[in-house]
Amino acid sequence: MATVSRLNQFACQKTFPTIAPRTPLISPSAILHLSPAKPTSPPLLFKSKGFRKPAFLCRAAGEGEQDAAASSSSSMVADAGEPEQLTEIDSLKNRLVDCFYGTDRGLRASSETKAEIVELITQLEAKNPTAAPTDSLTLLQGKWILAYTSFPGLFPLLSRGTPPLVTVEEISQTIDSENFTVQNSVRFASPYATTSISTNANFEVRSPKRVQIKFEEGVIGTPQLTDSIVIPESVEFLGQKIDLTPFKGLITSVQDTASSVAKTISSQPPLKFDISNRSAESWLLTTYLDQDLRISRGDAGSVFVLLKEGSPLLARC
């Protein structure tokens, strides 16, 4: 190392010829400046009788060049070690989605949480990367999952509008930008079955941000029943353990019957009905749109925040 240090003290710009083709003399300080005499001819990876090793020219680097090389090397190391920096929009999106946790799509959001959500939505709308969402139909295309809303019409459905043990598993909106259709869907789940209720609609572009929606029909999905019933070998009742092993044959018979009924019901087509009244129209204003998140405003100022299916933001809700 001492020898290398003394060599670096001389700013030599002279080109040295190669000494002995088999053992070229290379200054340690000039390693970064090693270059083949014929760069267009790649070295061969096999042995041959007439093979000649490529000749290299070596020169000692000056102090300025050494400093530049060291600076470049340090910069590469620093860049490799630093974590990726989030943009301001990504940071706002993460904070917004984190606010949805535990709010049940806005139903159980406190007044403080609602105020923070409104503030974050306002900041994102001011930084909307898609100025004319209706001109970017490829971004609108696909299935969007409702993460938050202030629309009061959905709250009865989320709170007391379902039978016991039935929960709203998912509320989504699927946009077909090629055929200008929209499907709004609510999927229900219970311990033994799942089903859905959907509305199909057409939409027209009315402005760079607004679309007019006209509902055409409703669809009640065929219930998908669980084809097996899991019953434990024993249960405890009033402090006594009851053995269910003697009923194993009866349980098997019930399971077979349930499987047959489930297959019969699940094979039936969904029930469709027309929506022909005048009030079956609405409008939607998209105020923020990117590949992961969409913010829309509807009648009476209601806000809807939707996340694209497959977005990593869904895991934060």
pLDDT 10s digits, 23-33: 444 444 443 34
- Judgement on whether residues 156 and 25 belong to the same structural domain of the protein: no
252 versus 189: the higher-pLDDT residue is: 189
What is the pLDDT at residue 29?
44
The answer as to whether 208 is a domain residue is yes
The answer as to whether 27 is a domain residue is yes
The answer as to whether 30 is a domain residue is yes
What is the pLDDT at residue 232?
64
What is the pLDDT at residue 153?
82
What is the pLDDT at residue 18?
47
8 A C-beta contact, residue 4 and residue 60? no
List the domain range (segments joined by +) for residue 93: 88-222+269-316
- Judgement on whether residues 61 and 128 belong to the same structural domain of the protein: no
Beta bridge partners of 203: 213
Give the integer Cα–Cα distance in Å for 150 and 301. 9
- Judgement on whether residues 188 and 283 belong to the same structural domain of the protein: yes
What is the pLDDT at residue 58?
44
The answer as to whether 275 is a domain residue is yes
- Judgement on whether residues 70 and 144 belong to the same structural domain of the protein: no
- Supply the mean pLDDT for the chain: 75
The answer as to whether 309 is a domain residue is yes
- Judgement on whether residues 274 and 129 belong to the same structural domain of the protein: yes
CA dihedral (163, 169, 171, 175) positive or negative: negative
Highest mean pLDDT range out of 57-61, 162-166, 232-236, 254-258? 162-166
Place 222 in a pLDDT band, splitting at 50, 70 and 90. confident
Domain of 192, CATH number, reads 2.40.128.280
- Judgement on whether residues 120 and 182 belong to the same structural domain of the protein: yes
pLDDT, one tens digit per residue, over 163-198 is: 667 888 999 999 999 999 999 999 988 877 788 999
- Judgement on whether residues 211 and 275 belong to the same structural domain of the protein: yes
- Judgement on whether residues 60 and 158 belong to the same structural domain of the protein: no
Place 237 in a pLDDT band, splitting at 50, 70 and 90. low
Q: How many domains does the chain have?
A: 2
pLDDT, one tens digit per residue, over 89-103 is: 999 999 999 999 999
Overall average pLDDT of the 45-60 stretch: 45
8 A C-beta contact, residue 210 and residue 283? yes
Place 221 in a pLDDT band, splitting at 50, 70 and 90. confident
What is the pLDDT at residue 280?
76
- Judgement on whether residues 184 and 75 belong to the same structural domain of the protein: no
- Judgement on whether residues 298 and 192 belong to the same structural domain of the protein: yes
The answer as to whether 232 is a domain residue is no
